[in-house]
Amino acid sequence: MRVGRYVLDFENRPSVAAWSAVAGKKEGEGPLGNLFDMVIDDILDGRDTWEQAESEFQKKAIGILLDKAGVKDDEVDVIFAGDLLNQCSGTGFGIRGYNIPFSGVYGACSTSVLAMINAAIAVDSGLFKRAISSTSSHFCSAEKQFRQPLEYGGQRSPTAQWTVTGAASAMIASDATNCPVIERAIIGKIVDKGVTDSANMGAAMAPAAAQTIADFLEDTGTVPDDYDIILTGDLGKVGSELLYELLENEFSLNIRKVHNDAGLMIYNLEEQDVHAGGSGCACCGVILCSKILGDLKNGKLKKALVVATGALLSSVSPLQGESIPAVAHGVLLTNGRGNDEK
Amino acid sequence: MDISNKKYDEMVKKASPPSPIFKNCIWAFGVGGAICCFGELMFKIYGMLGMDTLETRTMVSVTLIVIAAILTGIGIFDKIAKYAGAGTVVPITGFANSVVAPALEFKSEGFVMGTGANIFRVSGPVIAYGIFTSTVFGAIYYIVQRIML
């Protein structure tokens, strides 16, 4: 069922039956490090290349997910997954050993939520009983593809963000009980406000996040205080401030009290020297699939609106003078114990 | 959203912290200066070993290149450069780093299509336009010299 112009309301309330988060050493040393299912200290994870390591992370995340959900791979009907690497190769190589029909999705750093929306639509339709959503990113493979070689001696801008090394997966199921449910979702529109600085992704993505949050609240007739948390994916310090200002100036909405950003939660910004915060597909992914879903399960949170943001640039588009188009997708997760308004 | 790109650009500029230019300059001056002093020291040492001026100049460059390449290989150069900035980029050490870093990075795609094809990925523009500029100025120098004679 549709609510308003853009919001999808899932009548069958697909459940998030299980979730898993695998993270790298730096993420493990962050403030939420103890919540991840696995922290892999070796950045190569015993493989030969960064790309193989990223695939290995995603393979492990799905392995843990299957264990936690207590199902075998061939009992899963479909997997929606993607990552930042060309042709979503981090995902393709990572899950090639699993016996699960695969549908690739690309939303840059919004992939975690985009994949989850796909899985929720699939399960809600009744055509799929179990669907996995999964994503990964790796600092080194992202740097190699989008920026400079790792050992290159350059300085990072204070607005630059640090790509999270990790992978996150969630099992969306029609038959699970006593677990968080996906009530609503919104697929965002591409917003491009002309930002060309690829070292300031937060600024490029903030308008997309503002648009999606405003659309969601308008369509559902709700206000920010109706939610325990509005979590954005990887806006970081600069993008979060711009998000507040855009929502206040353009939409008369104030989300400061309920907002947090996965890019600000995953690291100790100053101590871990990550400048404006975390980014990457796994940034929103591992926070969603550890802290947020965990808190929904244990009752600390009742309603969480998770809006992941993605910058849809390529490795050549900034050089060709293009600005950075951005998109933000949202899911409303609730604790699933009766859907009483807060 | 009605906000114009221009107005948003102003918001972005206000929200984005600037690079700490003063701190960066101090670091660049200190580290860059130290590298140059080290070069000068090597120049004297090679001179004392009996090399002529042309040889010592070459040997100083080679020494700095070798040291920068080794520091890049063992993963220390980028940690120094993070603070030093222009201090490590401007001397020949920056050039050495910009050749070795991609050579290492693309080793995973093989020695031919990986390291070989990408080794000048970062330094390529400097080499290409360096050769171009020196050719142009060489030609000008040659012509001017002829006219003067």
pLDDT of residue A338: 59
Choose among A205, A203, A195, A199: nearest CA to A155.
Answer: A199
Taking the C-alpha atoms of residue A280 and residue A5, their distance in angstroms, rounded to an integer, is 29
A238–B106 C-beta distance less than 8 A: no
- Would the pLDDT of B54 be above 50? yes
Q: Which of B2, B4, B7, B8 to mutate to test the interface with A (most CBs of A within 10 A)?
A: B8
Q: Taking CB atoms and an 8 Å limit, are A158 and B19 in contact across chains?
A: yes
Contact between chains at A158 and B8 (C-beta distance less than 8 A): no
ipTM: 0.90
pLDDT value at residue B149:
77
More confident residue, A340 or B87: B87
- Cα separation, A234 vs A280, in Å, equals 7
Say if the Cβ atoms of B15 and A210 lie within 8 Å: no
Q: What is the pLDDT of residue B90?
A: 87
**Residue A84 pLDDT:** 97
User: Looking at beta carbons, which residues of chain B come within 8 Å of A218?
Assistant: none
Check CB contact under 8 Å for A207 and B16.
no
Residues from chain B that touch A269, judged by Cβ atoms under 8 A, are none
* Chain B CB within 8 Å of residue A157 CB: yes
pLDDT means over runs of 10, chain A (342 residues) = 96 97 97 97 96 97 98 97 96 97 97 98 97 98 94 92 98 93 98 96 98 98 98 97 97 97 96 95 98 96 98 95 97 79 40
Give the Cα separation of A225 and A37 in Å (integer). Answer: 31
Mutate to test the interface with B, among A48, A155, A235, A319 (most CBs of B within 10 A): A155
Q: Which residues of A touch B78 (CB under 8 A)?
A: 150-154
Strands (E), A179-280: 181-186, 229-232, 259-261, 278-279
How many CB pairs below 8 A link A and B?
103
Nearest to B5 among A194, A200, A210 (CB): A194
- The token pair at A222 is 């709700």
Instruction: Give the pLDDT mean for B31-48.
Output: 96
Q: What is the DSSP letter of B19?
A: P
pLDDT tens-digit readout, B93-136: 999 999 999 999 999 999 999 999 999 999 999 999 999 999 99
